[in-house]
Chain A
């Protein structure tokens, strides 16, 4: 159906259901309980991040997962997309569609330029080139292009680009009648509008912005499945397994890799545009190379080269970031209260650096563990677990892996 095989279609339907029901699925605990404060993730801001970063990593996966080119500068496209969308809100109006379209176009052009240059090298050089371009964009956005005193203030430097009451907004209104900033909307539906459903003790929030992002994420996901299963996707995989051999057969791989690079750049720009649509503020720190690193981390955590991996990775990363940063000493004391005092204090001291402000450390360790022991990420982990449960022996799995093995480069 929809041009998908049965297996892919099932996967797609599962993702649709998950996205549609996320406000239920992510709010398993009744409102106001202590567990809810910690583990409930069904509030609009976080759900929007889940799907937006899902889009970003899906795009990254088209490049890294299929062609094996490791870009360390993908955040540049995210940042460019964010800036473009905010400019559209400043100049044209608060409807999100033109902003999102412009962010995709600008990021696409940007990716075409960077990709054209970077793809002349492969391997480490490619990573370093993309890293250099991204840092260059970051430095420019931070300094010259964002000098508030100059006439050419594209990014507003350190403060970040934000909406002003004096912006023209030719198709909309500069200010609302009560003198405040207008809000981003989709043909009249404000992005921050929510419908709240109360069932007993549970409170579920259905946010307009989340569903817009969710639908766009589903479209992106569908396109990525089609790319994965297309002859084009096959060509990209061939580039990954042995580019040299491809070249020897007389085939020019550059257009294919460049197309993949631009597609993934457009995805990143789209994600940036959506971030700005949800919260019309764009800062240079979105382009910093640690942000690029985080994209890589999400992709690896989920599982590179798989369809569902990027969504899992993005969700996992955002969810745990959210939980870990909420845990503090008093929460720990509460959890470990059943233990004798000495042991409790000791454990709290041990765990303290890993939670709260130290969530980076935990995610970094987790990332390393995944890279070392589980290069296929969560998807491979799930497969292994499934294998254990269904009792498939290790040997048969190994034999299968051997069959799948690509020829050495």
Chain B
């Protein structure tokens, strides 16, 4: 039993990332009808926003201290981050410690702007071209973004720590009445799950309870009619593209402490996110979220040793197997609308 709960929890954090990326992909597909192969790159750029904020906060003045020497006999260098000299040592240290959550504030405008530029500058010109061209141009864009990041930050993963309070793990089992040390779970993954839940909730609330969201939903159902009513649906869809980019970016920012950002992390997630979108149903937002969590949890269960003993390697392919079965038996996906992309 404790094993099952543990695997369930393990699936949640990966599932959250899948769900957030798939949500963005679905938003873009549902509104603009574009399959965005560059969405993984947006996730990756989000993670590098966290890296950048951390680097900016740790920019330091270096002073040589002649009274002390290091082991080579040179004067010891004392580096003081600017933020510590500006805001006082305690406040400065706290800022650096909380750099990842702080990065959210910076990431939102950056990602939204990036989304606008992508949509207006590039993808707009591809609506009338075949789907294959859309896939190809966004794939090209993904390569370019990835290589730009690589040129600036290098090819190695950059460790980006979570705030001190959230480092380490806690005993989740005790909380729900199991023996101590049965279920150990890292704090930050819990935070990530909560964060993902908030973002997903916010996106749904935005679509459900605001006039803007209502218009967007109407546009997703029947773009032409909404256009005929005199509403500038293109502009709203562009804004939705920005929001989708921000969702992917935020998923990336918060994922940085779980997995040190490297330039190809986006591509790794992208393939799986596509699978998630297909399983959930192209164009269905609840489907994307549901499938994201389901597949994340399924993957966690498949990586249990007991399961692997029966089906070796199942953890590597389970998601693809599920996707293939779903596409073949129920092409509209778990929650897809009838008739959307069914052939």
> Residues on A close to B: CB < 8 A?
64, 68, 70, 72, 117, 120-125, 127-129, 131-133, 135-136, 139-140, 142-145, 289-290, 293, 296-297, 300, 353, 358, 360-361, 363-365, 367-368, 371-372, 375
Contact = CB atoms under 8 A, between A and B. Distances in A.
Interface string B112-136: 0000000000100100011111011
B316 A365 contact: no
A8 B312 CA distance: 51
Contacts of A121: 327-328, 331, 343
Contacts of A361: 143-144, 147-148, 150-151
B321 interface: yes
A171 B136 CA distance: 46
Contact of A123 (B131, B144, B151, B320): B131
A367 B151 contact: no
A368 B145 CA distance: 12
Given A290-B267, A296-B136, A371-B136, A144 B331 contact: no
Interface centre among A132, A293, A353 (most CB of B within 10 A): A132
Contacts of A364: 140, 143-144, 147
Interface in B310-343: 312-313, 316-317, 320-321, 323-324, 327-328, 331, 341, 343
A170 B274 CA distance: 46
Contacts of B324: 117, 129, 132-133
A122 B275 CA distance: 15
B327 A125 contact: yes
A371 B140 contact: yes
B278 interface: yes
Nearest to A147: B312
Given A131-B274, A136-B321, A140-B313, A124 B147 contact: no
A125 B136 CA distance: 15
A300 B278 CA distance: 26
Given A125-B278, A133-B324, A371-B137, 8 more contacts: A70-B136, A124-B282, A132-B275, A136-B317, A140-B317, A361-B143, A364-B144, A371-B140
B32 interface: no
B110 interface: no
By size class, the interface of chain B is 35 or more
Interface in B247-293: 267, 271, 274-275, 278, 282
Contacts of A129: 323-324, 327
The 9 lowest CB-CB distance pairs between A and B, nearest first, are A144-B313, A364-B143, A361-B147, A139-B316, A368-B140, A353-B151, A364-B144, A136-B320, A132-B320
B139 interface: yes
11 contacts: A121-B343, A124-B341, A132-B271, A133-B320, A139-B313, A143-B313, A296-B136, A364-B140, A365-B144, A371-B133, A372-B122
A127 B275 CA distance: 11
A289 B278 CA distance: 18
A123 B341 contact: yes
A227 B122 CA distance: 36
B334 to A, nearest CB: 15
A289 B130 CA distance: 22
B199 interface: no
A132 B271 CA distance: 8
A293 B35 CA distance: 16
A144 B146 CA distance: 29
Given A70-B135, A124-B131, A368 B144 contact: yes
A39 B313 CA distance: 45
B320 A289 contact: no
B141 interface: yes
Interface centre among B131, B144, B275 (most CB of A within 10 A): B144
B183 to A, nearest CB: 27
Contacts of B130: 68
A139 B131 contact: no
A375 B324 CA distance: 31
A128 B144 contact: no
A358 B147 contact: yes
B132 A128 contact: no
Interface in B180-236: none
Given A131-B271, A132-B324, A124 B144 contact: no
A359 B90 CA distance: 45
A139 B317 contact: yes
A70 B132 contact: yes
A131 B272 CA distance: 10
Given A124-B341, A125-B331, A129-B327, A360 B131 contact: no
Contacts of B282: 124
Nearest to A72: B135
Contacts of A367: 136, 140, 143
A300 B136 contact: yes
Contact of A372 (B125, B131, B274): B125
A72 B146 CA distance: 19
A290 B146 CA distance: 12
A135 B141 contact: no
